[in-house]
Amino acid sequence: MTISMYQASVPVFIRMLNNLAAILEKAAAHCAARKIDPAVLINYRLYPDMFAFARQVQVACDHARNGAARLAGMEAPRLENGEQTFAELGARVRDTIAYLETFAPAQIDGSEAREVVVRRGETVNTYPGLDYLLNRSLPNFYFHVTTAYDILRHNGVELGKRDYLG
């Protein structure tokens, strides 16, 4: 049995981003019900050298967008990182889902050996598509979604495994 690169990427990203959107709504409701300034959670970080909640959401979206685009041999559109509210973060998540929905399986399937180049500053890494998906894109995506979930859970937002998994 062969793996469908499309099925292993785009639907996975979309499912988890839909779960993240629902988590954002729960966080906003939590703040409203308890009269907590949403900026407290949006700017919260688990440790001083970690990204704050808003950045975790932004980076999760970036990994999904960039992951699908790179596997398709394309460049994803760059987004600004100015979101400061749950509504703005939710819009970014929904925009990312809409972007992912533009990909067809034929654009990504067969990309197992496609060269994927990732540039970060002066550092350039090259991966075969399958290695990129399994060892870079998906792990980073899940890390940031999980950390966003953990920040909210740590701060008392009533979330459970069903919220994370959908």
CATH number, domain of 42, equals: 1.20.120.450
pLDDT given for residue 2 in this prediction: 77
Determine, yes or no, domain membership for 126: yes
Total tally of structural domains belonging to the chain: 1
- 57/147 Cα distance (integer angstroms): 9
| pLDDT of 1 over the 90 cut | no
Q: What was the pLDDT predicted at 96?
A: 98
* pLDDT band (50, 70, 90) for residue 3: confident
Query: Is 110 inside a domain boundary?
Result: yes
The three state secondary structure string of 49-82 is CCCCHHHHHHHHHHHHHHHHHHHCCCCCCCCCCC
Whether residue 63 lies inside any domain: the answer is yes
Residue 4 falls within a domain, yes or no? no
User: What per-residue confidence (pLDDT) applies to 133?
Assistant: 98
Q: How does pLDDT run across 125-142, given as a tens digit for each residue? A: 999 999 999 999 999 999
Which distant-in-sequence residues (6+ apart) come within 8 Å of 96 by Cβ? 13, 17, 61, 64, 65
- Report the pLDDT value the prediction gives residue 140, as an integer from 0 to 100: 98
In a domain, 98, yes or no: yes
Q: What is the pLDDT of residue 68?
A: 98
Residues 59-115 pLDDT 10s = 999 999 999 999 999 999 999 999 999 999 999 999 999 999 999 999 999 999 999
pLDDT at residue 122 is higher than 90: yes
Looking at the domain assignment, is residue 3 inside a domain? no
Place of tokens 């399986």: 105
136 occurs within a structural domain: yes
* pLDDT over 90, % of the chain: 97
Average pLDDT over residues 29-57: 98
- The answer to whether residue 17 sits within a structural domain is yes
Average pLDDT over residues 146-155: 98
Which residue segment(s) compose the domain that 100 sits in? 10-165
